[in-house]
Structure 1
Amino acid sequence: MAKKDIFIGFLIGILTSLLGSFLFIAFYIKSDIFSGIQILRENGYLGKVITIGTILDLIAFGILLKINRELMARGVILAVIVLALSTLFI
């Protein structure tokens, strides 16, 4: 059960980060999502946008702690660590 909760938290962390990145691209880049990602990649800003997208993980982490889902909150932190390491290589 513990591994399942951590995995669910990890998925929540990844999905909220993707949602945050999508919202940032949708509001600040005035083109469609795929050309926006291409523009960000060409200019070297894709890692920074992914990092900005992880701000929503903070909200998910707080909500999970509020409803006493500590293992899922650990999964969210694991997702943030994985995303931080992946931005080093992008």
Structure 2
Amino acid sequence: MTKAAVFYGFVMAIILAILGCYLFLLWFTDYTFLAGLQIIKSQGNLGKIVALGSILDLLAFGILLQLKQEMMARGVVLAVICITILTLFL
């Protein structure tokens, strides 16, 4: 089950990062989600928004460690690394 747990952690972190970006754009801008992403990408600030969205991943990582779900926490770390690499090339 270790590969499945890593996969679940990875998927959970990707969903939380998207949710974090969505919540940031909803609360702090006047744009809709897709229009906000396009505008922010054209301004060159997409990496900052993704980094702010990944704060929820940090919370998930801490909670998973408290619950002794180390393999799922590894999936969260893997997702954050993939999000970081993806953000570098966008």
The normalised TM-score by structure 1 is: 0.95
Q: Deviations over 1:17-72 (max 9, x none)?
A: 11111111111111211211111011011121011110110100011111110000
Paired amino acid for 2:13? G
Map 1:72-87; keep pairs closer than 5 Å: 72-87=72-87
* 1:38 alignment partner in structure 2: 38
1:51 and 1:87 in contact (8 A); partners too: no
Percent identity between matched residues is 46
Superposed, 1:61-76 pairs within 5 Å as 61-76=61-76
- Unmatched 5+ residue regions in structure 2? none
Normalization by structure 2: what TM-score? Answer: 0.95
Instruction: Count residues with an aligned counterpart.
Output: 90
Equivalent residue for 1:57? 57
Q: CA RMSD in A?
A: 0.8
**Which ranges of structure 1 fall in alignment gaps of 5 or more residues?**
none
